Amino acid sequence: MATISQKILSRASGYDGMAEPGEIVEAEIDYAMSHDGTSVLAIRSFREMGSERVWDPDRVVVPYDHIVPANNETAADLQREVRNWVREQKISHFFDCGTGVCHQVFPEQGFALPGTLLVGADSHSCTYGAFGAFGTGVGATDMAEIYSAGRLWFRVPETIGIKVEGRLAPFVSAKDIALQVIGDLGADGATYKAVEYIGPAIEGLSISGRMTLCNLGVEMGAKAAIVPPD
C-alpha cells in the first residue's frame, strides 16, 4: 500500500505509476516559503546562479517573523533588501512585521492543503504535515533553485507509521506524544524518513495539536511528519 508521501511525490513529479521509497524524483513545488531570517541568503544564491525572475511569483511566500521589529541596523538593512526583491519580483504573498509566526501564517493564508508539496527555508516546515501535506525544510541554495525553476529533487522517503491508540488523559498534549516518540526513536531515529501519525488519539487532536506534533518531526531527523487529512 502506497504511503501519503509516495502519493504526493509521485503526483508532484508526474511519475508514471507510484514512486517507491529510495527512488529519486524531480518534483514540482506547490508553494515555497522563506522568512526574514533565510530569504536574504536564498536571494543572494538566486542572483549568483544568474537567475532574474522567480518561476511563479504567486507561489512564493515571504513572511517576516524571526527578527521583528529589526533589532539593529544590520537586520533592518537585510529586511529592506528582501522587501526590495519582493517588489522587484512582484511577489504578492508578502507578510510584513506583525502578521504572525511563519508556520502559522502559512496555513492560515490557505497555502497548506492536503496533498500538496510544500518547501520552506526553515527546518520546521514539516509543520505543514498537520494538514495532510508533504512539508519539508531546505537550505538557502536549494531554495534559490526552487525560486528559479519551481522544482527540486527528492529521494522518496521510507515511512514510519506511528499509531496512537485510545484517548489522551487530561493535561496530556500533542507535545507529550511527540516527546515520547522522539525519546523512543532517538534524535536520529527517523533521519530522511517520513513519519505518519495515525490512530484514535491522533484523530482526536485539534489542528493546533497536529501542528505541534508535526513541527517536532525534525527533532528526530524526519524529512516530513504527516497526519492524514480528515
**Percentage of residues of the chain with pLDDT beyond 90:** 97
The reported pLDDT for the residue numbered 42 is 96
Q: 77: burial class by Cβ within 10 Å (0-12, 13-18, 19+)?
A: exposed
Q: For position 167, which CATH number holds?
A: 3.40.1060.10
| 70 and 111 both lie in a single domain | yes
Over residues 146-201, the pLDDT tens digits come to: 999 999 999 999 999 999 999 999 999 999 999 999 999 999 999 999 999 999 99
CA angle at 35 for the pair 126 and 181, rounded to the nearest 5° = 20
The reported pLDDT for the residue numbered 1 is 81
The reported pLDDT for the residue numbered 137 is 97
3-state SS string for the chain: CCCHHHHHHHHHCCCCCCCCCCCEEEEECCEEECCCCCHHHHHHHHHHCCCCCCCCHHHEEEECCCCCCCCCHHHHHHHHHHHHHHHHHCCCEEECCCCCCHHHHHHHCCCCCCCCEEEECCHHHHHHHHHCCEEEECCHHHHHHHHHHCEEEEECCEEEEEECCCCCCCCCCHHHHHHHHHHHHCCCCCCCEEEEEECHHHHCCCHHHHHHHHHHHHHHCCCEEECCCC
58 is a domain residue = yes
pLDDT-derived band of residue 210, with 50, 70 and 90 as boundaries? Answer: very high
Give the integer Cα–Cα distance in Å for 204 and 226: 15
pLDDT-derived band of residue 119, with 50, 70 and 90 as boundaries? Answer: very high
Which one, of 33, 148, 176, 24, lies nearest residue 93 by Cα? Answer: 33
The reported pLDDT for the residue numbered 16 is 87
118 is a domain residue = yes
Q: For position 137, which CATH number holds?
A: 3.30.499.10
CA distances from 13 to 7, 26, 116 (A): 10, 6, 12
230 is a domain residue = no
pLDDT-derived band of residue 46, with 50, 70 and 90 as boundaries? Answer: very high
- The pTM (predicted TM-score) of the whole model is 0.95
| 75 and 93 both lie in a single domain | yes
| 139 and 214 both lie in a single domain | no
| 187 and 119 both lie in a single domain | no
| 3 and 113 both lie in a single domain | yes
pLDDT-derived band of residue 53, with 50, 70 and 90 as boundaries? Answer: very high
CA distances from 129 to 78, 116, 119 (A): 30, 9, 11
| 140 and 204 both lie in a single domain | no
189 is a domain residue = yes
Q: Grid coordinates in use for 26?
A: 524531480
Over residues 9-29, the pLDDT tens digits come to: 999 999 989 999 999 999 999
Average pLDDT, the chain: 96
37 is a domain residue = yes
Over residues 78-97, the pLDDT tens digits come to: 999 999 999 999 999 999 99
Domain boundary among 104, 128, 156: 156
| 60 and 91 both lie in a single domain | yes
Domain boundary among 156, 177, 192: 156
pLDDT-derived band of residue 111, with 50, 70 and 90 as boundaries? Answer: very high
| 140 and 176 both lie in a single domain | no
Q: For the chain, how many structural domains are there in total? A: 2
Q: 131: burial class by Cβ within 10 Å (0-12, 13-18, 19+)?
A: buried
Task: Tell me which residue range forms the domain holding 195.
Answer: 158-225
| 177 and 220 both lie in a single domain | yes
211 is a domain residue = yes
| 118 and 67 both lie in a single domain | yes
Quickly tell me which residue has 524531480 as its cell: 26
| 10 and 121 both lie in a single domain | yes
| 34 and 140 both lie in a single domain | yes
Compute the half-sphere exposure of residue 226: CA atoms within 13 Å on the CB side of its CA: 32
Whether pLDDT at 109 is above 90 = yes
Domain boundary among 156, 173, 201: 156
Judge contact between 29 and 150, C-beta under 8 A: yes
